[in-house]
């Protein structure tokens, strides 16, 4: 009954960036960037092809003849399903834009290669459901930021340690959880997995590494590490089907607290990066909240908000990166002026900003509406906090916007318009955000089917228990 398409789509997708990284091992920055852009473009193309193939016939199984790990597990490891197909596009897109807009002031060949590596790891993560592979990718994924922090020298040392401690703990929990799954310590396994996810998603109180990372690592690297929200993928594939009911509530409440805490903390930050870090933490936590609702609305909302917040936050972070390259370190407790110097960047920043907090007309609004609907049934009292978090988040975003782009223009300030590649990169992300904001139906339908699947899987697992 299952038709099969034999084409090494997924393995190619993972191989391309790795090959690009290897091929340019000795190349200079510019060559590497070109290679990285090409690699990301190919990946986006492949991912879209995969999505189209999948949407055309959802029953079509994709057999990957080059799947490198089949021999080890005895069955194909890479797989394409309704959850992963859009995620691959999403991950490839963010990688593409990150390398496109990366400012040359921050650019080194090593950073680009690390990004390529991160891209491969990310795609591999989203293309598998094999826990062991995911665990391996989980560990590998943390390498690029780690290396970046290390190359920052003494100034990045404390942040490096904080990051290493948290990621180490997270990885240990994840590996432990994976190892114990299916055994007699099923409960412990679930708890460990939940812990791992909470760390990786920066859920309160396990979040402190996140603002630190954003503050000290290059924004492109930290954005690429966080924006795809690998933690959410793990939650969707490994945690939700097996998570004990009590943990659900704990994570749900913790997510709400995170959302509120993050957006409130963003209001009192002085540095733009840290403020952005807290906004990131706050908004991405809402995704977890949606999953914990275990209702069709909630999970669909989580999936929608996952993508929308991922895109919007990536755009916001990258816009900040690009702006930093032009102006140096940015503070948000004063007005810098300079709207006239970079009008388009200001507008894009505003679009990503309001998209992050779910402004009507952006895809974020759709996700947030469903999330709230889902949350109010499960956490009726606390859903006020969700609303408050989104209110404060909006305020924090506007505060950052105003401080970065308004105020008296500096005398003799140069016009620093966006380059073409920067414009193109931001336009891509902005278009995704706005097109699905105005016409969300196809995306929501797909996500609602995925949500139904996830919930069914959980129902099966719970019954089985």
Partner 1 sequence: MSWSLFDALVKAALGLPAALLFTLGAASLLSRPLTERLTSALARAVFGLTALALLIAAGLSVPLEAQHHTISLGHWFVAGATSFELRLLADPLSLTFSTLCVVLIGVVAVFSDRYLHREPGYNRYFVSLCLFSLGILLVVLAGSIEVVFAGWEMVGLSSALLIAFFHERPAPVRNGLWTLAVYRTTDLGLLGAAVLIHHIAHTGNFDAFLGASWPEGPSPLSSGQASAVGALLLFATLGKGAQLPFSGWLARAMEGPTPSSAIFYGALSVHAGAFLLLRMGPVLDQAPAVAAMAVVFGLGTAIHATMVGRAQSDIKTALAYASLTQVGIILVEIGLGLRWIPLIHMLGHASVRSLQLLRSPSLLHDFQRLEVAVGGHLPRTGRYLERLLPPRVRRRLYAAALARWRLDELLLRVITPALGLLRALDRLEHRWCAWLGGRAADGSEVRRDG
Partner 2 sequence: MGVVELPRRAPDYVNVRGERQSEEERAGVLAAVEHAAHLLPAQGPISIFVHHNTLHAFEGVPFEEAVVRGGQALGCEPFLSEERFHAELSRGRILSADLQAVIAEDLGATATAPVAGLTTRQALRQAMVQLVFIEPGEPELRWLLAETRVLEHLRRDLPPELRRGFLDRARSALGRDRSPAALETGIVQRLWTACLGVARKAPSEHVGASYPLRLGDLLRLAADAGPQADADRLVQPLLIRLAGAFLDQGIAYWGLAAREEGFLAAFSAVYGESRGGERWRDALAAVIAEESRRGGDAVDSVLRSLAAMGVTPDAYEPVITAELLAIRGWAGMFRQIESRPDRVPVQAPPARLMDFLAALLCAERAALAVLAREHLGFAGDLSALRGWLIPQIRPPPPPSEEARAAGLFQVAQALGIDGAALERLDREESAALLGEISSFSGVERRRIFHLAYERRQRVEALDALAQHARRPAPGIGSESSSFQAVFCIDDREESLRRHLEEISPECETIGFAGFFGVAMYYRGAEDAYPTPLCPIAIRPTHEVEEEVDADFARRAVTRARGRRLVGRLRRGFEVGTRTFARGSLLTAAFGLLAVVPLVSRVLFPRLTASLRLRGERWVQAPSRTHLALSRRPEVTPQLGAHAGYSHAEMAGIVREMLTLCGLAGRLSPLVLIVGHGSSSLNNPHGSAYECGACGGGKGGPNARAFAQMANEPAVRVLLAAEGVEIPSGTWFVGALHNTCDDAVKYFDVELVPDSHKELFARARRAIELARAYNAHERCRRFESAPLWLPPMLALAHVEARSQDLAQVRAELGHATNALAVVGRRARTRGLFCDRRAFLISYDPTRDDDGAVLSRLLAAVVPVCAGINLEYYFSHVDPAGYGSGSKLPHNLVSLLGVMNGGSSDLRTGLPWQMVELHEPVRLLMVVEARVEVAERVLAADPSLRRLVDHRWIQLAILDPDGAGLSLRVDGSFKKYVPENMVLATSPSSSAWYRGRRDHLPFAQITGGA
Choice between 328 and 380, CB closer to partner 2: 328
- Length of the chain counted residue by residue: 465
Rank residues 64 and 297 by Cβ distance to partner 1 and give the closer one: 297
Residue 150 interacting with partner 1 (CB under 8 A): no
Pick from 73, 78, 57: which is nearest to 12 by CA? Answer: 78
Among 51, 193, 240, 444, binds partner 1 (CB under 8 A): 444
Residue from 337, 421, 424, 457 in contact with partner 1 (CB under 8 A): 337
Question: Given the complex with partner 1, which of 8 and 271 has the nearer CB atom?
Answer: 271
Residue 199: phi and psi, rounded to 5, are -65, -50
Residue 150 binds: one of partner 1, partner 2, none (C-beta under 5 to 8 A by kind) = none
Grouping H, G, I as helix, E, B as strand and the rest as coil, residue 394 is helix
Q: Does residue 158 belong to the site contacting partner 1 (CB under 8 A)? A: yes
Question: Cα separations (Å) of 274 from 20, 167, 315?
Answer: 32, 19, 16
- Contact status, residue 319 vs residue 349, Cβ threshold 8 Å: yes
The footprint of partner 1 on residues 342-371 (CB under 8 A) is 344, 347-348, 351, 354, 359-361, 365-366, 369-370
**Using an 8 Å Cβ cutoff, are 89 and 44 in contact?**
yes
Binding of residue 420 to partner 1 (CB under 8 A): no
| Beta carbons within 10 angstroms of residue 331's beta carbon | 14
The answer to whether 249 contacts partner 1 (rule: CB under 8 A) is no
Residue 24's binding partner among partner 1, partner 2, none (Cβ under 5 to 8 angstroms by kind) is none
DSSP state of 102: -
3-state secondary structure of 270: coil
Report what 126 binds from partner 1, partner 2, none; CB cut-off 5-8 Å by kind: none
Using rule CB under 8 A, residue 262 touches partner 1: no
Binding residues (CB under 8 A) for partner 2: these are: 103-105, 107, 270, 325-328, 331, 333-335, 410-414, 416, 419
Residue 103 binds which entry of partner 2, partner 1, none, CB below 5-8 Å type-dependent: partner 2
440 part of the interface to partner 1, by CB under 8 A: yes
Binding mask 194-233 for partner 1 (x = CB under 8 A): --------------x--xx---------------------
Residue 428: name the closest of 346, 337, 348 by CA. 348
CB 389 within 8 A of CB 257: no
Question: Buried (b) or exposed (e) across 126-152, using 16+ Cβ within 10 A?
Answer: bbbbbbbbbbbbbbbbbebbbbbbeee
With CB under 8 A as the contact rule, the residue among 104, 409, 410, 456 that binds partner 1 is 409
Q: Which does 414 bind (CB under 5 to 8 A by kind): partner 1, partner 2, none?
A: partner 2
**Shortest distance in whole angstroms from residue 330 CB to partner 2:** 10
Q: Does 165 bind partner 1 (CB under 8 A)?
A: yes
Helices (H) and strands (E) in the chain, counts: 20, 2
> Kindly report the CA angle at 216 between 359 and 272, in degrees rounded to 5?
35
Check binding of 269 to partner 1 (CB under 8 A).
yes
| d(C-alpha 395, C-alpha 401), whole Å | 10
- CA 3 to chain CA centroid, nearest Å: 32
Partner whose footprint covers residue 369, from partner 2, partner 1, none (CB < 5 to 8 Å by kind): partner 1
Q: Among partner 1, partner 2, none, what does residue 419 contact (CB within 5–8 Å per kind)? A: partner 2
d(CA 213, CA 141): 14
- x-marked contacts with partner 1 along 292-331 as a string, rule CB under 8 A: ---xxx--xx------------------------------
Q: Cβ closer to partner 2: 153 or 328?
A: 328
The size of the interface with partner 1 (CB under 8 A), counted in residues, is 71
Cα radius of gyration rounded to whole Å, the chain: 21
CB of 428 to partner 2, least distance (A): 20
Q: Name the E strands within 349-445.
A: none
Exposure b/e, 257-286, CB count within 10 A at least 16 = b:
bbbbbbbbbbbebebbbbbbbbbbbbbbbb
Q: Does residue 441 interact with partner 1 by CB under 8 A?
A: yes
């Amino acid at each position: 009954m299952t038709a099969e398409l034999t084409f090494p789509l997924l393995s190619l997708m993972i191989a391309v960036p790795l090959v690009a990284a290897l091929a340019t091992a000795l190349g200079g920055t510019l060559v590497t960037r070109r290679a990285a852009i090409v690699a990301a473009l190919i990946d986006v193309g492949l991912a879209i092809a995969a999505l189209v193939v999948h949407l055309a016939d959802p029953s079509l199984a994709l057999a990957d003849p080059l799947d490198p790990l089949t021999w080890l597990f005895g069955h194909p490891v890479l797989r394409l399903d309704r959850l992963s197909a859009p995620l691959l596009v999403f991950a490839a897109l963010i990688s593409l834009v990150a390398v496109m807009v990366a400012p040359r002031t921050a650019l080194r060949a090593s950073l680009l290669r690390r990004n390529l590596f991160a891209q491969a790891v990310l795609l591999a993560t989203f293309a598998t459901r094999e826990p062991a592979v995911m665990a391996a990718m989980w560990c590998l994924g943390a390498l690029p930021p780690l290396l970046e922090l290390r190359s920052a020298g003494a100034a990045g040392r404390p942040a490096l340690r904080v990051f290493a401690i948290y990621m180490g703990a997270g990885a240990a929990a994840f590996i432990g959880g994976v190892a114990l799954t299916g055994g007699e310590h099923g409960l412990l396994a679930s708890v460990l997995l939940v812990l791992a996810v909470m760390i990786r998603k920066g859920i309160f109180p396990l979040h402190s590494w996140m603002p630190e990372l954003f503050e000290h690592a290059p924004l492109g690297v930290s954005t690429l590490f966080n924006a795809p929200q690998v933690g959410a993928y793990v939650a969707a594939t490994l945690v939700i089907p097996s998570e004990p009911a009590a943990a659900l509530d704990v994570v749900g409440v913790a997510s709400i607290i995170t959302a509120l805490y993050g957006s409130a903390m963003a209001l009192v930050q002085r540095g733009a990066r840290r403020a952005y870090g807290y906004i990131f933490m706050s908004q991405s936590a809402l995704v977890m909240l949606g999953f914990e609702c275990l209702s069709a609305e909630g999970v669909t909302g989580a999936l929608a908000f996952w993508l929308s917040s991922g895109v919007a936050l990536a755009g916001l972070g990258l816009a900040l990166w690009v702006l930093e390259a032009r102006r140096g370190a940015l503070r948000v407790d004063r007005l810098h002026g300079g709207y006239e110097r970079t009008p388009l960047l200001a507008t894009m920043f505003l679009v990503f900003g309001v998209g992050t907090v779910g402004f009507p007309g952006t895809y974020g609004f759709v996700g947030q509406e469903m999330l709230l609907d889902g949350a109010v049934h499960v956490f009726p009292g606390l859903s006020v906090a969700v609303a408050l978090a989104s209110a404060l988040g909006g305020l924090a975003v506007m505060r950052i916007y105003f401080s970065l782009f308004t105020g008296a223009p500096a005398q003799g300030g140069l016009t620093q318009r966006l380059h073409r590649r920067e414009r193109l990169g931001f336009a891509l992300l902005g278009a995704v955000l706005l097109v699905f904001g105005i016409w969300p139906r196809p995306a929501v339908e797909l996500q609602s089917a995925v949500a139904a699947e996830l919930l069914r899987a959980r129902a099966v697992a719970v019954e089985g228990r």
